[in-house]
Amino acid sequence: MPENIRSQTAAVIPAYQDEKHIAGIARRTRERLNHVLVVDDGSTDQTGQRAREAGAEVIVHDQNLGKGEAIKTGLAHWLAAANPSGTGQDRQITWVILLDSDGQHLPEEIDRFLLAAASVRRPTFFIGNRMDDVARMPFVRRVVNRYMSNQISRACAQKIPDTQCGYRMLHRQLIPELLGGGHRFDYETEALLIVSRKGYRIESVPITTVYTDQVSKIHPMRDAFRFFQLMQRYRNAGA
């Protein structure tokens, strides 16, 4: 793998009330990437402190704004860092990896994304695919995931086997397109629709299915309603 891909890649880890897991995730990510940012989305526990102790940069939201806003804060941070500064200290950030703070995404699999990025010749959006490893995925989640992935793939006009996966990697050229959109979990779906509408390819990277003891922060009824609202809006706009 070309080392310049690794040195030009930064991570964004959105986190909320994750003091139990964040130190391990941040430390293991730092073992693979030099640039790791944790966005503490208004936690009232020790999430931010644990992340700093593990060697990550930390940005703290004064209040909980939602996962989408935390991701956008992180993307904007690395977009700014990618531009030459007045001091001449240009960190040359070309790619950004997004992974969750609760242990569902293994930092050890970052190299899978780096290898995928090394093989492309144009700005691309990569997303993890757990659907080849569904034995450990709860049955209801498996069914819902397949349904939503089929719906979103149709709206995006390209096959995306696991649209619900938050383990992602994108070229910095895509970042300005992704600083709008939803505020909470609907943002991750809208990001796929946005980059597809802009003509970018979405490529899948096989990853391991992991379920931890962390309680899901998704609210099934509320977030399902947001999903259907989002899909209807894009259909009405000409999907």
Buried b (16+ CB within 10 A) or exposed e, 42-63: bbeebbbebbbebebbbbebee
Taking only the tens place, the pLDDT of each residue in 79-132 is 998 665 544 445 689 999 999 999 999 999 999 999 999 999 999 999 999 988
DSSP string, 101-154: SSSSS-GGGHHHHHHHHHT-SS--EEEEE-TT-GGGS-HHHHHHHHHHHHHHHH
18-22, 76-80, 104-108, 230-234: which has the minimum mean pLDDT? 230-234
Residue 116 is predicted with a pLDDT of 97
- Residue 113 contacts residue 205 (beta carbons within 8 Å): yes
pLDDT of residue 180: 86
Please give the pLDDT value at position 30. Answer: 98
Name which residue leads in pLDDT, 169 or 136.
169
Q: Tell me what the mean pLDDT of segment 156-180 comes to.
A: 95
What pLDDT score does 222 carry? 59
Confidence of residue 158 (pLDDT cuts 50, 70, 90): very high
Provide the pLDDT confidence category of residue 15 given band limits of 50, 70 and 90: very high
Are 30 and 117 in contact by the 8 Å Cβ rule? The answer is no
Higher pLDDT, 184 or 178: 178
pLDDT for residue 7: 94
Cα–Cα distance between 36 and 29 in angstroms, integer? 7
50: left (phi over 0), alpha (psi -120 to 50) or beta: alpha
Share of the chain above pLDDT 90, in %: 67
pLDDT-based confidence at residue 186 (cuts at 50, 70, 90):
confident
**Per-residue pLDDT at 117:** 97
pLDDT at 133: 77
